[in-house]
Amino acid sequence: MKLSDQIISSAKETISNEANAIANLENFIDEDFIKAVEIIYNSEGRVIVTGIGKSAIIANKIVATLNSTGTPSIFMHAADAIHGDLGIVQENDVVICISKSGNSPEIKVLVPLIKNFKNTLIGLTANKDSFLGKEADYILNCYVEKEACPNNLAPTTSTTAQMVIGDAVAVCLLNLKGFSSRDFAKYHPGGSLGKKLYLRVSDITAQNMVPKVSPENNIANTLVEISEKMLGVTAVIEDEKIIGIITDGDIRRMLKDHSDISGLTARDIMSKNPKTIDQDTLAVEALEVLEKNQISQLLATENGKYIGVVHLHNLIREGIL
């Protein structure tokens, strides 16, 4: 077999193995799973997630997911816990202990200590008959028939299953809490994701100058206003109301249609009924309007009054697009 064929075969077999194992996890969503989620949902404390080896890495990921979706969580390494870090666990906390075998030496030492503290212990394990399986108050079953590793040794499918069960718990809690996109934004203020959830039109217009002319302004003044404000557009304002817009495209059409522009005014070349957007609208919604109408600029308003321009380039610069 060629090297390339061997690589493709191995990759596909791994994906197939893990996909089948994950699909089978649906059969393990039982009464214990329900009770575990309910206990966490009603808890006045935090969720402490612990594990050893690869399970510890998965524990870190589950903690990150829970925290980002509104369930306060802390990672505690199982080995460090029995050497002082057990102080992390407080009276009302719920502990999730992750172990594929459920029989790791560190787990056997840690579990009785947690039980002595009277904290609810949830075992996330592939072996319900293990030490962890028998001692835990509730079991999150992540059994897999075999690892993707051809020797059935390296944690591959099993750690994927652990992570998926953790995600299932987090999403259940998210839904029970009615966790919205606005809540999500509070925990994800950075990067383009955060900006899509909190950046508003007013945040964009505050960065820009505010181009505007009266309908009777001559073309020379209008061109100067467009050029100086550097947005490729100007609003046409009469009695404090928007009556039109002049874009670079309007200027090009004017030059094409008129050999003599000396007598023209802003009113003569403006486009009427321009697209506007309220300043409190999310910037990502402004992008949707621009894309839907195949335009590059929107006039922003506050209580119907013109306050500035949102340009497609602003949204690109902010990482919204």
Output the known binding site: 77
Phi, psi of 19 (to 5 degrees): -60, -45
Report the alpha-carbon distance of residue 164 to residue 106 in Å, rounded: 24
Report the alpha-carbon distance of residue 158 to residue 143 in Å, rounded: 7
What is the residue type of 286?
Answer: A
Report the alpha-carbon distance of residue 157 to residue 160 in Å, rounded: 5
Report the alpha-carbon distance of residue 194 to residue 189 in Å, rounded: 4
Check: CB of residue 145 under 8 Å from CB of residue 152. Answer: no
In what helix (H) or strand (E) does residue 210 lie, and over which residues does it extend? Answer: none
Pairing of strands 276-278, 297-302: parallel
* Other Cβ atoms within 10 Å of 83 Cβ, number: 8
Hey, what are 276's tokens? 């506007």
Q: Which residue ranges make up the annotated binding site for Zn(2+)?
A: 77
Q: Identify the three-state secondary structure at position 94.
A: strand
**Full strand arrangement of the beta sheet holding 241-247:** 212-213, 233-238, 241-247, 271-272
Check: CB of residue 139 under 8 Å from CB of residue 32. Answer: yes
In what helix (H) or strand (E) does residue 250 lie, and over which residues does it extend? Answer: helix 248-257
User: For the purposes of burial, counting CB atoms within 10 Å of the CB of 57, is it exposed (0-12), middle (13-18) or buried (19 or more)?
Assistant: middle
